[in-house]
């Protein structure tokens, strides 16, 4: 009886761990305060949330600046919720890999099997475009006219369907494609028979006890961090109103596969900085965290293994895996290779990068800046590495 009670207590404490972390107070070193003041001034940043992981522990969580341009302070509970921009792609890939592990998806399957439409580069009609090519951006499909729907790629519904395809043979050339990642959500729905957000909640977020969802209706909207885009012409910030847009008609009339683009799997993930750090730790643990396995070790390592050479800038080596990138030393931290993803949309710069071999990782979210998302993400990573991880 005593053994059962101890086990139940341990399980309860495990479930409470993320909430306890969100309420935990972390001491901010004076050196970091100074560095962040300089960062905020240089980049005209509105607000920053950050987390540092070392040896399977979150060793620091902090917020700097403000939630909005009025100067509203962060709560100090680390429970504010923000979009992740393109870091979201790794979440979509993780969901798909759950189905690979279940034997419901084969990475080398023709995507037509799941999407139910003709998907062929008109210059290479005999070459199938595979699920793997969607994940590693080698499908030869590019974003065209900034559209992100299944209908846009369907020859039966779009007269300009061919404009989405490049001259390159599928599987031979890297071209970053938001459209393909929106269609990853369609593939997940086709293979699982579940709505994309519900599948992810069931297979990833709930098992890991994360505050996270693709669907804003699942989350506390009072905790959403507004995104502030700097208009260089008018030299002022403006709020981005559609940052937390929900399903059309509240999900009424939703059609599986056809409407999965509404979740914007290329950039619509929403979560807290603590939950982002825990999600990163799952990937650092080869697919598991706190004894909970989300994807197999094989699938996790496959996601983190860059395999692509050549990109849209003219042949520069790009080690993109399946939803995660491998970066050479010095790309983010002097002398250190990292794995992860960066994200950027108007008013937002996000980052999740880690060195699995050395057991550390860094996550950052910046909600407004006058410079560029690439600049703020790189600066923040280097500041946090120097403060907490450099020997």
Domains of the chain: 20-80+212-249+270-388 (3.40.710.10)
Burial class (CB in 10 A: 0-12, 13-18, 19+), 248: exposed
So what's the pLDDT on residue 291? 97
How far, in whole angstroms, is CA 18 from its chain's centroid? Answer: 19
- Comparing CA positions, the residue from 196, 216, 204 lying closest to residue 265 is 196
The pLDDT score that the predictor gives to residue 101 is 98
CA dihedral 301, 329, 48, 205 (to 10 degrees): 0
Q: What are the mean pLDDT values of the chain's consecutive 10-residue runs (391 residues total)?
A: 35 49 85 98 98 98 97 96 98 98 98 97 98 96 84 94 95 92 98 98 98 98 97 95 93 97 97 98 98 98 82 60 92 94 96 98 98 96 97 77
Q: Give pTM, 2 decimals.
A: 0.93
So what's the pLDDT on residue 205?
A: 98
pLDDT in the model for residue 160: 93
For residue 124, give both structure tokens: 């290479």
Three-class SS state of 89: helix
Cβ proximity of 282 and 289 under 8 Å? yes
The pairs formed by 229-235 with CB atoms below 8 angstroms and a separation of 24 or more are 229/346, 229/347, 229/368, 230/44, 230/347, 230/368, 230/369, 230/370, 232/370
pLDDT at residue number 154? 96
CB-side exposure of 245: number of CA atoms within 13 Å? 12
pLDDT of residue 307: 78
Are 122 and 231 in contact by the 8 Å Cβ rule? The answer is no
Q: So what's the pLDDT on residue 5?
A: 33
Q: Which of 77, 63, 84, 67 is nearest to 19 (CA)?
A: 77
* Residues sharing a CB contact under 8 Å with residue 217, sequence separation 6 or more, in sequence order: 246, 247, 250, 251
Rg (CA), the chain: 21
At 311 the pLDDT is 52
Give the per-residue pLDDT at 145. 78
> What is residue 349's predicted lDDT score, i.e. its pLDDT?
98
Rounded CA-CA distance 95/89 in Å is 10
Whole-number Å distance between alpha carbons of 200 and 94: 9
Q: Is 340 left (phi over 0), alpha (psi -120 to 50) or beta?
A: left
DSSP 328: -
d(CA 142, CA 217): 31
Quick check: 299 and 231 in contact, CB under 8 A?
no
Contacts of 121 (CB under 8 A, 6+ apart): 127, 129, 140, 141, 165, 166, 169, 170
């Amino acid at each position: 009886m005593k053994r059962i009670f101890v086990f139940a207590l341990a399980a309860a404490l495990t479930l409470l761990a993320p909430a306890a972390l969100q309420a935990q107070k972390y001491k901010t070193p004076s050196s970091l305060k100074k560095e962040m003041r300089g960062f905020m001034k240089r980049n005209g940043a509105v607000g920053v949330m950050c987390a540092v992981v070392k040896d399977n522990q979150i060793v620091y969580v902090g917020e700097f600046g403000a939630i909005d341009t009025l100067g509203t302070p962060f709560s100090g509970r680390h429970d504010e919720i923000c979009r992740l921009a393109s870091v979201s792609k790794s979440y979509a890939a993780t969901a798909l890999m759950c189905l690979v592990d279940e034997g419901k998806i084969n990475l080398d399957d023709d995507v037509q099997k799941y999407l139910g439409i003709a998907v062929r580069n008109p210059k290479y009609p005999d070459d199938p475009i595979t699920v793997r090519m969607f994940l590693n951006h080698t499908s030869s499909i590019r974003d065209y006219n900034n559209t992100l729907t299944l209908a846009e790629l369907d020859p039966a519904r779009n007269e300009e369907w061919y404009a989405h395809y490049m001259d390159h043979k599928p599987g031979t050339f890297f071209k970053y494609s938001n459209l393909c990642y929106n269609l990853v959500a369609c593939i997940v729905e086709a293979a699982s028979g579940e709505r994309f957000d519900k599948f992810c909640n069931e297979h990833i977020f709930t098992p890991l006890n994360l505050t996270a969802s693709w669907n804003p209706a699942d989350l506390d909207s009072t905790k959403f961090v507004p995104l502030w885009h700097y208009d260089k012409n008018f030299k002022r910030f403006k709020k981005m109103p559609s940052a937390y847009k929900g399903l059309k008609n509240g999900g009424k009339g939703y059609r599986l596969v056809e409407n999965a683009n509404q979740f914007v799997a290329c950039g619509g993930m929403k979560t807290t900085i603590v939950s982002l750090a825990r999600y990163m730790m799952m990937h650092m643990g080869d697919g598991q965290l706190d004894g909970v396995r989300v994807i197999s070790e094989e699938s996790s390592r496959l996601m983190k293994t860059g395999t692509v050479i050549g990109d849209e800038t003219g042949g520069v080596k790009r080690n993109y895996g399946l939803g995660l990138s491998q970066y050479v030393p010095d790309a983010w931290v002097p002398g250190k290779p990292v794995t992860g993803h960066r994200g950027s949309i108007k008013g937002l710069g996000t980052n999740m990068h880690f060195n699995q071999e050395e057991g550390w990782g860094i996550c950052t979210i910046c909600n407004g800046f006058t410079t560029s998302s690439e600049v703020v993400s790189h600066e923040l990573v280097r500041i946090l590495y120097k403060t907490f991880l450099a020997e």
